[in-house]
Structure 1
Amino acid sequence: MAEERREFPSLQRIYDLQVREDDDWQMVQKQGNQFVVNDQPFYVNGFNTYWLMVFAADQSTRGKVSELFHQASSAGLTVCRTWAFNDGQWRALQTSPSVYDEEVFKALDFVISEAKKYKIRLILSLTNNWDAYGGKAQYVKWGKAAGLNLTSDDEFFSHTTLKSYYKAHVKTVLNRVNTFTNLTYKNDPTIFAWELMNEPRCTSDPSGDTLQSWIQEMAVYVKSIDAKHLVEIGLEGFYGPSAPDRAKFNPNSYATQVGTDFIRNHQTLGVDFASVHIYADSWISQTISDAHLQFTKSWMEAHIEDAEKYLRMPVLFTEFGVSAKDTGYNTSFRDTLISSVYKTLLNSTKKGGSGAGSLLWQLFPDGTDYMNDGYAIVLSKSPSTSNIISLHSTRIATFNSLCSTKCKWGCKKKTPLEEFLYHDDL
């Protein structure tokens, strides 16, 4: 009995720590142009791995989900963006409108429960502009199968029936009760934000009115079901007709004609923060050059400025990377590009600016090379890149822990860590 009594206090302390840790696992919120958790700033260093649900749906690959989260967590990464959709394709989540494969839904449950174990929050995207994993083209196919007279995939944004299909999917996902945690998705702080669509474009209406109307309708609809979580659109960041003076920052003239409008789209009720993608190697040239670095810096700075001046919200660079398939590619250039992105963000962070973080495209565990689109980073095989990521994670975590909203965000605390946080060695 004496031994049991001696052990009991230590067990109690462990329990208290666990309770405290769970108490700290609160929803991410927005305060002005920054994210906050428990009244502390939450600047983000994160990554994308879009196929987690599909891998979790197969017991032979499910372990890769845990492996990835473990590696990401070890590098200090705190947010992962992944798909909460697979429309009518192989391993489909939604096999037809409002019809779901329960085993695949359980796989998404698993992804969310594993993310929490590793203290990684998720941005969950709800459908795709592109054909991969179904997306708007699959919704149009479903509509045609139901007898609708549809002539363009862009009717996804305007046809009442197709919009009702999408809304039904949103409602089903947000109200899902996780079979591993018993938490309803809309109440789960593991979910950082909902993304309306991956890279929406409506090229049939360059004015942007069609997409703007869809964003307005869907952002409010998501909030009507789930007022707790943050919502973002999923945009690439192209400037449209409402901001002709900003078009000079676009990578090419075509970018102004795809029906998106960065500033106007993000001034929509229900949208909490801005998203931007960075793909100089897709948009400018597939041959590696310093022009990629110059574009990346000006692209980021323009959007951070917009988020501060016009939007008054945080901006996340939710996809960025460089493909190993590009002419002239080497890992040294990749490291330089990643460092450049991180440096630009730190310059915003130390001034209390809107640059809230970035998400690499994309992180892979070992043994998944067959999924590689050229952008995959395997941390265990990329020591120099891994070191850059880990250093930035440490800087961000240090800043998040040092500062609070009471500092009015732009706090310039003179501490021995200041040089470590902001030293210009990137």
Structure 2
Amino acid sequence: MENHIKPDRNHTEMRSPTTQKCKAWGISSLWKKILHFLLGHVLRIYHHGEMEEEAWSRVQKNGNQFIVNGQPFYFNGFNTYWLMVFAVDRSTRGKVTEVFKQASAVGLTVCRTWAFNDGQWRALQKTPSVYDEEVFKALDFVLSEAEKYKIRLILSLVNNWEAYGGKSQYVKWGKDAGLNLTSDDDFFSHPTLRSYYKAHVKTVLNRVNTLTNITYKDDPTIFAWELMNEPRCESDPSGNKLQAWIEEMAVYVKSIDPKHLVEIGLEGFYGPSTPNRIQFNPSTYAQQVGTDFIRNHQVLGVDFASVHIYPDSWISQTISDAHIDFTKSWIQSHIDDAENFLGMPVVFTEFGVSTKDPGYNTTYRDTLMSTVYKMLLNSTRKGGGGGGCLLWQLFPEGTDYMDDGYAVILSKSPSTSNIISLQSTRLTTFNSLCSWRCHWGCKKKHALDTFLYHDEL
């Protein structure tokens, strides 16, 4: 991508009509540049007969960048974990479509959600390897709706926590089968429980969608598989037990589906293998939970790193400037590590702030979000490893009863919605610099460079 083609004289001369309209409409010089750029692209694709929509293809990675159709893919995204459960009932299924529609309207292109519900109400997996077909059809619906709105999914395969079953449900199943189990962390080490998890992975990946007739492992709507939501193994602070589980399961997922990307689902805490990085942890407790950011992500089969950002639950619930300072150092340290040690992209797969925190206000939430977005942009504009981030969490109206305090309802949060939309537009524009035949060049100054940091739209 080093040898870029510069705009020629003819391209420059084509801008005159647009310039005249800009003056007539009172459009700023920044927007003139943007409109010039867009007009030039439209004329080029028309000239080359490329008006048809680009194929919906899988996200892949090249070094520390995600790519789609060979071009960079930096993204802005969100979490809505309950999509499958809501899709089961006709009375709530419309909320799935609603959240995708609203997300698409502000340019969000990736959603992370659960592909598990173990032994609970509306369970997908009622008992080991026994599934509720109606719930599976609901997950089929989630995938088909996501594709309609051009939103890719990160599907998590099990929970560390008790919500929606999790590792504790697997342990209960093991006890029901007569196994001598003493801790929920036996999920990671007992061969029978590992076989339960593998069977679930195999079933989900080989599922044929009843609406699209596409097997999940072949579906480009799926961005990546996540091994587990926030895995922790506190019974073994050395990290060896969890490390062995990750090594086994990452390779197992790849053995069934070598096409899709795989990530672990970690929160990003530094562990024993990197004592020089522990200073970036939010607390000393973080290094005692059995996870190890660098070591865990060096495992064969893991394609990109995952990190969560929750200063309000990790440091103090009371809102303070310390949260912003922590967020900056936390993000930068993980981007640096992804680029310098891991050679892979890093995605901040959860970040947010609770409205229940003492001192919370919308201005603080907007400040936290802007901080996360700007840190990612600093990486993006260099073609770096900060691949994207996913807000926790986006809700449509009428789902307040599911709110854990972190829900963002766009229609009720205009300032937050504007910040999200601006970030999406910036990333889409940056991705387009390359996909539009590099007429400006990713690593050179260009007309839209200012746009990546311009705060007034």
Does TM, scored on the shorter chain, surpass 0.5?
yes
What residue in structure 2 maps to residue 10 of structure 1? none
| 2:172 maps to 1:141 | yes
CA radius of gyration, larger in? 2
C-alpha contact 1:41 1:405 (8 A) present in aligned 2: no
| 2:414 maps to 1:389 | no
User: Which of the residues 322, 333, 336 maps onto 2:364?
Assistant: 333
| 2:275 maps to 1:244 | yes
What residue in structure 1 maps to residue 163 of structure 2? 132
What residue in structure 1 maps to residue 318 of structure 2? 287
Q: In structure 1, how many angstroms separate the alpha carbons of the residues matched to 2:145 and 2:285?
A: 41
User: Which of the residues 261, 271, 287 maps onto 1:256?
Assistant: 287
- Name the SS of the counterpart of 2:225 in structure 1: strand
Cα displacement (A) at 1:418? 1.2
| Shift in alpha-carbon separation, 1:261–1:425, aligned structure 2, 3 A | farther
User: Which of the residues 1, 11, 32 maps onto 2:63?
Assistant: 32
Deviations along 1:98-152, whole A, 9 cap, x unmatched? 0000000000000000000000000000000000000000000000000000000
**In the TM superposition, what are the counterparts of 1:41-120 in structure 2 within 5 Å?**
41-120=72-151
Cα displacement (A) at 1:414? 3.0
Unaligned runs of 5+ in 1: 1-12
Cα displacement (A) at 1:51? 0.2
Cα displacement (A) at 1:17? 8.6
Q: In structure 2, how many angstroms separate the alpha carbons of the residues matched to 1:370 and 1:328?
A: 22
Q: In structure 2, how many angstroms separate the alpha carbons of the residues matched to 1:210 and 1:406?
A: 47
C-alpha contact 1:352 1:410 (8 A) present in aligned 2: no
RMSD of aligned residue pairs (Cα, Å):
1.8
- Name the SS of the counterpart of 2:185 in structure 1: helix
Deviations along 1:309-368, whole A, 9 cap, x unmatched? 100000000000000000000000000000000000000111121111100000000000
Cα displacement (A) at 1:416? 2.1
- Specify the code of the residue in structure 2 equivalent to 1:187: D
C-alpha contact 1:239 1:263 (8 A) present in aligned 2: yes
Q: In structure 1, how many angstroms separate the alpha carbons of the residues matched to 2:278 and 2:148?
A: 43
Q: In structure 2, how many angstroms separate the alpha carbons of the residues matched to 1:17 and 1:223?
A: 35
C-alpha contact 1:199 1:234 (8 A) present in aligned 2: yes
C-alpha contact 1:97 1:142 (8 A) present in aligned 2: yes
C-alpha contact 2:433 2:442 (8 A) present in aligned 1: no
| Shift in alpha-carbon separation, 1:213–1:84, aligned structure 2, 3 A | same
C-alpha contact 2:434 2:441 (8 A) present in aligned 1: no
Deviations along 1:1-23, whole A, 9 cap, x unmatched? xxxxxxxxxxxx9xx999x43x5
Unaligned runs of 5+ in 2: 1-45
Deviations along 1:265-305, whole A, 9 cap, x unmatched? 00000000000000000000000000000000000000000
What residue in structure 1 maps to residue 154 of structure 2? 123
What residue in structure 1 maps to residue 443 of structure 2? 412
What residue in structure 2 maps to residue 275 of structure 1? 306
- Specify the code of the residue in structure 2 equivalent to 1:194: W
What residue in structure 1 maps to residue 242 of structure 2? 211
What residue in structure 2 maps to residue 199 of structure 1? 230
- Name the SS of the counterpart of 1:216 in structure 2: helix
C-alpha contact 1:351 1:410 (8 A) present in aligned 2: no
TM-score, normalised with respect to structure 2: 0.87
What residue in structure 2 maps to residue 6 of structure 1? none
Cα displacement (A) at 1:412? 2.7
Aligned residues: 409
Cα displacement (A) at 1:422? 2.8
Q: In structure 2, how many angstroms separate the alpha carbons of the residues matched to 1:411 and 1:73?
A: 25
Q: In structure 2, how many angstroms separate the alpha carbons of the residues matched to 1:162 and 1:284?
A: 34
C-alpha contact 1:40 1:405 (8 A) present in aligned 2: no
| Percent identity for Structure 1 against Structure 2 | 79
- Name the SS of the counterpart of 2:387 in structure 1: strand
Q: In structure 1, how many angstroms separate the alpha carbons of the residues matched to 2:299 and 2:441?
A: 27
- Specify the code of the residue in structure 1 equivalent to 2:140: D
Q: In structure 2, how many angstroms separate the alpha carbons of the residues matched to 1:326 and 1:268?
A: 37
Q: In structure 2, how many angstroms separate the alpha carbons of the residues matched to 1:58 and 1:373?
A: 22
Cα displacement (A) at 1:166? 0.1
Q: In structure 2, how many angstroms separate the alpha carbons of the residues matched to 1:51 and 1:40?
A: 32
Q: In structure 1, how many angstroms separate the alpha carbons of the residues matched to 2:50 and 2:343?
A: 37
C-alpha contact 1:85 1:125 (8 A) present in aligned 2: yes
Q: In structure 2, how many angstroms separate the alpha carbons of the residues matched to 1:396 and 1:359?
A: 14
- Name the SS of the counterpart of 2:248 in structure 1: helix
**In the TM superposition, what are the counterparts of 1:336-347 in structure 2 within 5 Å?**
336-347=367-378
TM-score, normalised with respect to structure 1: 0.94
Q: In structure 1, how many angstroms separate the alpha carbons of the residues matched to 2:50 and 2:81?
A: 33
- Specify the code of the residue in structure 2 equivalent to 1:277: H
| 2:402 maps to 1:371 | yes
What residue in structure 1 maps to residue 341 of structure 2? 310
Cα displacement (A) at 1:411? 2.6
Deviations along 1:28-81, whole A, 9 cap, x unmatched? 000000000001110010000000000000110000000000000000000000
Cα displacement (A) at 1:406? 8.7
Cα displacement (A) at 1:394? 0.2
Cα displacement (A) at 1:424? 6.7
C-alpha contact 2:233 2:239 (8 A) present in aligned 1: yes
**In the TM superposition, what are the counterparts of 1:214-229 in structure 2 within 5 Å?**
214-229=245-260
C-alpha contact 2:74 2:388 (8 A) present in aligned 1: yes
Q: In structure 1, how many angstroms separate the alpha carbons of the residues matched to 2:307 and 2:164?
A: 21
Q: In structure 2, how many angstroms separate the alpha carbons of the residues matched to 1:195 and 1:417?
A: 35
Deviations along 1:182-222, whole A, 9 cap, x unmatched? 00000000000000000000000000000000000000000
- Name the SS of the counterpart of 2:212 in structure 1: coil
**In the TM superposition, what are the counterparts of 1:142-221 in structure 2 within 5 Å?**
142-221=173-252
